[in-house]
Amino acid sequence: MFKSCDNLVIVQYLNLLNSKFWIICSENQVSVSVLIMNYDIKLLNVSKYYQMGNTTVKALEELSTEITHGEVVVVLGPSGSGKTTLLNLIGALENPTNGVIQIAEKDIAQIKRQKQFTYRRETIGFIFQTFNLFPTLSALENVQYVADLAKLRKSRNKAIEALKTVGLGERIRHFPHQLSGGEQQRVAIARALVKDAPIILADEPTGELDFKTGRQILSLLVEQKQSKKTILLVTHNREISRLAHRVIELQAGKIVSDGPPTDGTVSIDNLKW
Ligand SMILES: Nc1ncnc2c1ncn2[C@@H]1O[C@H](COP(=O)(O)OP(=O)(O)O)[C@@H](O)[C@H]1O
Ligand SMILES: [Mg+2]
């Protein structure tokens, strides 16, 4: 890989399992250094306004909160309360009008657009209500596409593994129209998992699904906590919010409560809505 290593050379840097590995060559010695990354999310006075003609729409106003890496948090609120806007800001799909959004100690609204792309690619897995799969790509191709974008080695194998994880090992060659809604959402989850991003943002992921399928999808998502992922799950459904130990409730762009669900946490098997 290299001829001489008299001087300090960082030969390779890898991003794996929420850790960064540096392979360092110094005075003919090769060593590996590991830094466990901490993806805490800190919001400080975050506002997002949209100008619509003469009207200012205050989608989010002065939000401050912290989410610790590895937490499963539900964002609960009625339609129009700012839930999607909040996920878009954390995912750097949009910039706030005011305030600081710090993730892994970086203000992601202040970094350059190209860096925001890298941040999104390495840090965020998105899951949407309407699945958002490419209709002309198979399940495998949909997942592999994201693995390729993330420049993963052996992307095809990783995509197959991710599809097996969500129980679709037998369906990898199916196209979205050949899959049920629940199966399409599983492909979308595999797509979010394949790059092993530390933060999963799920925007009403069960909105299009029947109750039983929805519950399976929620279970699959919450299981990801085991691999030390932060899960932000958006819903307008108070019953669904009971799967978490922490619910951030939004109303008209403001946090109105933040704590355990008012009616208590229940296991996913006992959730009903
Ligand atoms: N791009 C936009 N332009 C103008 N208004 C927007 C835009 N995106 C969201 N909004 C407004 O911001 C508010 C919050 O929207 P949103 O975050 O989508 O809410 P939720 O996901 O809770 O339904 C709503 O009043 C919505 O109409
Ligand atoms: Mg929304």
At 194-252, the pLDDT tens digits run 999 999 999 999 999 999 999 999 999 999 888 889 999 999 999 999 999 999 999 99
pLDDT of residue 187: 97
* 1 and 114 share one domain: no
Does 49 lie in the same domain as 8? no
Q: How far does residue 91's CA lie from ligand 1's centre (Å)? A: 16
* Residues 103 and 19 occupy one common structural domain: no
Q: Are residues 12 and 46 in the same domain?
A: no
Beta strands, E only, 69-119: 72-76, 98-103, 106-107
Residues with CB under 6 A from ligand 1: 50, 52, 57, 59, 77, 79-85
Q: Which residues pair with 50 in a beta bridge?
A: 57
**Residue 188 and residue 262 in one domain:** yes
The residue whose CA is least distant from atom 5 of ligand 1 is 50
232, 65 contact by CB (below 8 A): no
d(CA 108, CA 122): 13
Are residue 49 and residue 160 in the same domain, yes or no? yes
Count structural domains, the chain. Answer: 2
- Per the prediction, the chain carries an average pLDDT of 91
Which ligand has an atom closest to residue 129 CA?
2
Same domain, 19 and 88: no
Answer whether 85's CB lies under 8 Å from 109's CB. no
Q: How far is the CA of 27 from the CAs of 2, 7, 8, 91, in angstroms?
A: 13, 6, 7, 41
Q: Give one DSSP letter per residue of 46-81, joined into a string.
A: EEEEEEETTEEEEEEEEEEEEE-TT-EEEEE--TTS
Q: What pTM did the predictor assign?
A: 0.89
d(CA 212, CA 160): 25
Residues 151 and 203 in one domain: yes
Residue 24: pLDDT band (50, 70, 90) is confident
Tell me which amino acid residue 270 is: N
The residue whose CA is least distant from atom 7 of ligand 1 is 50
- Cα angle vertex 111, ends 108, 117, to 5°? 80
Q: Range of 26's domain? A: 1-36
Alpha carbon nearest to ligand 1 atom 17, residue: 82
Long-range contacts of 217-220 (CB under 8 A, 24+ apart): 217/182, 217/185, 217/186, 217/189, 218/243, 218/268, 218/271, 219/268, 220/166, 220/167, 220/186, 220/189
The residue count of the chain comes to: 273
Quickly count: other Cβ atoms within 10 Å of residue 151's Cβ.
11
Residues 261, 238: Cα–Cα separation, whole Å: 8
Q: How far apart are the first and last CA of the chain?
A: 57
258 and 212 part of one domain: yes
**What is the atom index within ligand 1 of the atom nearest the CA of 204?**
21
State pLDDT tens for residues 132-190. Answer: 999 999 999 999 999 999 999 999 999 999 999 999 999 999 999 999 999 999 999 99
- Positive or negative CA dihedral for 181, 71, 260, 94? negative
Q: How confident is the model at residue 7 (pLDDT cuts 50, 70, 90)?
A: low
For residues 27 and 109, state if they share a domain: no
Quick one: which atom of ligand 1 is closest to the CA of 234? Answer: 21
State the chain's maximal CA–CA distance in angstroms.
66
Cα 247 to middle of ligand 2, angstroms: 16
Does 127 lie in the same domain as 28?
A: no
192 and 162 assigned to the same domain: yes
* Number of Cβ within a 10 Å radius of residue 9: 15
Q: Do the bridges between strand 199-203 and strand 55-67 make them parallel or antiparallel, or are there none, so unpaired? A: unpaired
